[in-house]
């Protein structure tokens, strides 16, 4: 027993060491890049407070409003800004609070990813899944004051506790996830499939009783998960008098509306031919590459017979992200498709040369995009 606890502690330390090493590298690269390009010392907090990050801070400071430019912030869901406000009470700085939440949540997300992968795969595969998670080309969002870390922590932990049969914990975590990102609603059908899988694998004796309990669990979990999103609709109604005001704001300010995925795909492809050089790479090309990467991983998940609930989660999340009039930030959203890291780890375990190729490729693009982001350039 002591030996097992000691091994668990060693693994946890190793995982944290990997993640911290990537974070230290990231902070150093961002700081040195700023000094080289700008010729002056860097403000580390400022470097990571880019694009959407200040919007979450603004909500934490002043709440939501229906007037002025700040009315557009209703598209940002409430849990992350709420936590920023809470943590800022102690650290007395909203930007620092956002970074603390994001970085702490990413460490916990990595630990849960290892534990989740370990339920089905050996230690080496589980460790590689965390490694790819840490160095994925857009994993610098696990550092910045964005919702990626928090959402991934809640979602991966939700799946972990569902796999362990702790449905109430899974439901509460799913509820918090759906109050963080709209894709948290995808957990509802995904966990239904998980319940179905577990019911199918149950022993034949007492099958009727177990099935009845599973249905009750499913209903309670789905109700809990839905409550997170319902709270967001109530917030919309309280601020705008319209529970679905966020959809109108998306259309008004970002010119985005629901559309089949191929419309966004064709738009990204065509934009490669008319955008400027930077846009060809970062708007047209990158959106296209990461969108197709997500689709390829879904097809491989089906072929490799990945656990059905993981495949359903990946497929539906990809559809939510790509079913818009034009693709925007797909490379960042791909990070939330956490089962792909397990898939990549399986591939990396089978073929060592593929593992090294992915490691080099991921790190190169990770560094490239990170420098762009921290310099204030568009990087998803």
Q: What is the pLDDT of residue 243?
A: 96
- Residue whose structure tokens are 């603390």: 100
| Per-residue tokens: 193 | 């499939």
Give the residue among 199, 201, 127, 112 at the shortest CA–CA distance from 159. Answer: 112
CB 152 within 8 A of CB 335: yes
Distance CA 120, CA 207 (A): 24
Query: What percent of the chain clears pLDDT 70, i.e. is strictly above it?
Result: 94
Q: What is the pLDDT of residue 209?
A: 60
Reply yes or no on whether the pLDDT at 194 is more than 50: yes
Q: What is the pLDDT of residue 213?
A: 67
Buried/exposed code over 162-174 (b: 16+ C-beta within 10 A; e: otherwise): bbeeebebbbbbb
Between 63-67, 97-101, 150-154, 192-196, the lowest mean confidence (pLDDT) is in 192-196
Kindly report the pTM of this predicted structure. 0.94
Distance CA 284, CA 277 (A): 10
Distance CA 323, CA 335 (A): 17
Instruction: Output DSSP code: residue 71.
Output: G
Give the residue among 26, 28, 43 at the shortest CA–CA distance from 141. Answer: 26
Task: Render pLDDT for 82-135 as a digit per residue (tens, 0 to 9).
Answer: 999 999 999 999 999 999 999 999 999 999 999 999 999 999 999 999 999 999
Average the pLDDT over 128-157 and give the result. 97
If one compares 197 and 328, the residue with the highest pLDDT of the two is: 328
Confidence of residue 50 (pLDDT cuts 50, 70, 90): very high
Between 7-21, 31-45, 357-371, the lowest mean confidence (pLDDT) is in 7-21
73 Cβ neighbours under 8 A, 6+ residues apart: 55, 58, 59, 64, 65
Long-range pairs of 162-166 with CB within 8 A, sequence gap ≥ 24: 162/191, 162/194, 162/195, 162/221, 162/309, 163/116, 163/119, 163/194, 165/198
∠ CA 68-74-80 to the nearest 5 degrees? 125
The residue extents of the domains of the chain are 2-374
Q: What is the pLDDT of residue 29?
A: 97
Q: What is the pLDDT of residue 196?
A: 81
Task: Please state, as a whole number, how many other Cβ atoms lie within 10 Å of the Cβ of residue 277.
Answer: 7
Task: Render pLDDT for 322-358 as a digit per residue (tens, 0 to 9).
Answer: 999 989 999 999 999 999 999 999 999 999 999 999 9
Instruction: Output DSSP code: residue 304.
Output: T
Our separate counts of H helices and E strands in the chain read: 18, 0
∠ CA 241-55-281 to the nearest 5 degrees? 115
∠ CA 296-301-306 to the nearest 5 degrees? 165
Reply yes or no on whether the pLDDT at 208 is more than 80: no
Between 117-126, 211-220, 240-249, the lowest mean confidence (pLDDT) is in 211-220
Average the pLDDT over 7-23 and give the result. 84
């Amino acid at each position: 027993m002591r030996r097992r606890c000691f091994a668990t502690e060693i693994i946890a330390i190793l995982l944290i060491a990997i993640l911290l090493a990537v974070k230290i590298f990231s902070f150093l690269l961002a700081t040195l890049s700023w000094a080289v390009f700008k010729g002056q010392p860097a403000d580390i907090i400022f470097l990571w407070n880019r694009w959407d990050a200040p919007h979450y801070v603004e909500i934490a400071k002043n709440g939501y409003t229906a007037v002025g430019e700040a009315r557009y912030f209703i598209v940002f869901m409430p849990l992350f800004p709420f936590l920023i406000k809470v943590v800022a009470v102690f650290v007395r700085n909203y930007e620092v609070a956002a970074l603390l939440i994001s970085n702490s949540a990413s460490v916990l997300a990595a630990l849960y990813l290892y534990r989740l992968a370990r339920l089905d795969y050996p230690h080496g595969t589980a460790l590689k899944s965390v490694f790819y998670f840490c160095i994925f080309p857009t994993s610098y969002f696990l550092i910045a004051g964005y919702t990626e870390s928090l959402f991934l922590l809640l979602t991966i932990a939700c799946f972990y506790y569902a796999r362990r049969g702790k449905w109430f914990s899974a439901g509460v975590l799913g509820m918090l996830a759906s109050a963080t990102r709209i894709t948290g609603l995808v957990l509802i059908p995904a966990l239904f499939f998980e319940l179905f899988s577990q019911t199918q694998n149950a022993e034949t004796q007492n099958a009727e009783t177990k099935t009845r309990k599973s249905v009750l669990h499913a209903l309670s979990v789905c109700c809990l998960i839905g409550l997170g999103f319902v709270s967001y609709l109530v917030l919309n109604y309280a601020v705008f008098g319209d529970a679905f005001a966020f959809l109108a704001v998306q259309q008004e300010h970002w010119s985005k509306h629901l559309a089949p995925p191929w419309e966004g795909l064709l738009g990204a492809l065509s934009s490669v031919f008319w955008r400027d050089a930077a846009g060809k790479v970062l708007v047209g090309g990158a959106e296209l590459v990461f969108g197709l990467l997500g689709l390829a991983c879904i097809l491989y998940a089906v072929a490799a017979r990945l656990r059905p609930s993981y495949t359903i989660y990946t497929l539906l999340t990809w559809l939510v992200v790509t079913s818009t009039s034009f693709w925007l930030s797909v490379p960042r959203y791909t990070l939330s498709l956490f089962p792909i890291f397990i898939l990549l780890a399986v591939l990396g375990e089978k073929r060592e040369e593929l593992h090294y190729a992915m490691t080099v490729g991921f790190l190169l693009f990770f560094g490239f995009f990170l420098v762009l982001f921290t310099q204030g350039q568009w990087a998803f």
